[in-house]
Amino acid sequence: MGHPYTALHTFHLVVRFQSLKHTADHLHLTESAVSHQIKRLEAQLGYTLFYKSGRQLKTTPEGKRLSSELSASFDHIDQILSEPKNTIHNTITLYCLPSLIEFWLLPRLLKFKEAHPNYELVIKYHSSSPDYLDEHSLRIGSHEKEGPTPYIRSKILSGETIPVCSPIYMNQQHVFSSKDLLETDLLHDHTEEGWRNWFALQGLTLNKPTQLIYEDFHLLKMATIAAQGVALCPEALIQEDLKNGTLIALSTKKSNIGHYYAIEQNKYAHSSINTLAKYLT
């Protein structure tokens, strides 16, 4: 049995709005009618598309895979049907990692705004980005390796890391070798895997229990500058700190090999997104 366009489009909108009610309002249907379409589609597919997490509606892994295949095409169809030809869409939503906003993103946005003062930019943290990007959004994040993606992805910076500390900490601890690092206060970003991998590449084993984990790079960098310990920081993000001596590189040997930062956009992105992307790449 074929899967009806209407049910698939309804599913696409539920993912987009993350709400049965908002989808129903958008389609001028009742919430129960939307729910019935989704249940019928799930029965045809043979797997569940959504689950409840508290009050939030979440997409299952199978639902995310289906959505990634459908979203770009439906966004494109929705845009064609809803916007008259040559309509200018002036609002761009940009989701970005906090670590890239100040030193990398904002200087480029200044140049964009000077050239295109009529565009409205909505800047949000990467963590609030939706499961997929519509035609009026950009996302700037980190990636571990090349892989299949429903989006156009443009690399901007390397995410490979090196061990660094402040001059004060270095003078206190007398860190001169990789083995010396085993005895230092190791600062972690998200998990301890970065340090474990770094030591493994040097033929060493990290057995020390994890003591300090920071939620994001910004907090990690602040703690490192404040002489709290040694951190693995993306070399591309600390060039100015290395240059002015705020941070000192303790080794040229890297971790997070192959990691990189990239801009992602919908394959059918609006012309405004393509214009902004040129200023960012």
What average pLDDT does this structure show over 71-84? 66
**pLDDT tens-digit profile of 14-30?**
988 888 998 898 888 89
**Is residue 238 classed as helix, strand or coil in its secondary structure?**
coil
How large is the average pLDDT for residues 33-52? 91
Query: Per-residue pLDDT averaged across 43-47, rounded?
Result: 90
Decide if pLDDT at 156 tops 90.
yes
- 93: alpha, beta or left, given left = phi > 0 and alpha = psi -120 to 50? beta
pLDDT band at residue 85 using 50, 70 and 90 as cut-offs: low
Query: Mean pLDDT across the stretch 101-123?
Result: 91
Q: What does pTM read for this prediction? A: 0.70
Give CA–CA dist 141/199, Å, rounded: 26
Average pLDDT value for residue range 219-225 = 93
Q: How far is CA 241 from CA 105, 167, 216, in A?
A: 17, 11, 18
DSSP symbols for 72-118: HHHHHHHHHHHS-TT----EEEEEE-HHHIIIIIHHHHHHHHHH-TT
Q: Is 224 helix (H, G, I), strand (E, B) or coil?
A: helix
Domains of the chain, first to last: 5-72 (1.10.10.10), 91-157+260-280 (3.40.190.10), 161-249 (3.40.190.10)
- Per-chain mean pLDDT for the chain: 87
Between 247 and 149, the higher pLDDT residue: 247
The residue count of the chain comes to: 281
- pLDDT interval class at 244 (50, 70, 90): very high
83 pLDDT more than 70: no
Which residue pairs, CB below 8 angstroms and at least 24 apart, start in 190-198? 190/215, 190/216, 194/161, 194/232, 194/255, 194/256, 195/232, 195/255, 197/255, 197/256, 198/161, 198/163, 198/232, 198/253, 198/254, 198/255
pLDDT score of 2: 46
Q: Is the pLDDT of residue 87 over 60?
A: no
Span 166-181, pLDDT tens digits: 999 988 887 777 788 8
More confident residue, 80 or 238: 238
For 87-92, what is the mean pLDDT? 71
What torsion, rounded to 10 degrees, do the Cα atoms 42, 134, 65, 105 define?
-150
Of residues 35 and 210, which shows the higher confidence score? 35
What's the average model confidence in pLDDT over 244-267? 92
| Whole-number pLDDT of residue 276 | 93
Q: Comparing C-alpha atoms, which of 113, 163, 112, 127 is closest to residue 277?
A: 112
Res 106: pLDDT: 93
CA-to-CA dists, residue 61 to 50, 56, 66, 97, 262, angstroms: 9, 16, 9, 23, 23
What is the per-residue pLDDT for 1?
43
For residues 184 and 245, the answer to whether their CB atoms sit within 8 Å is no
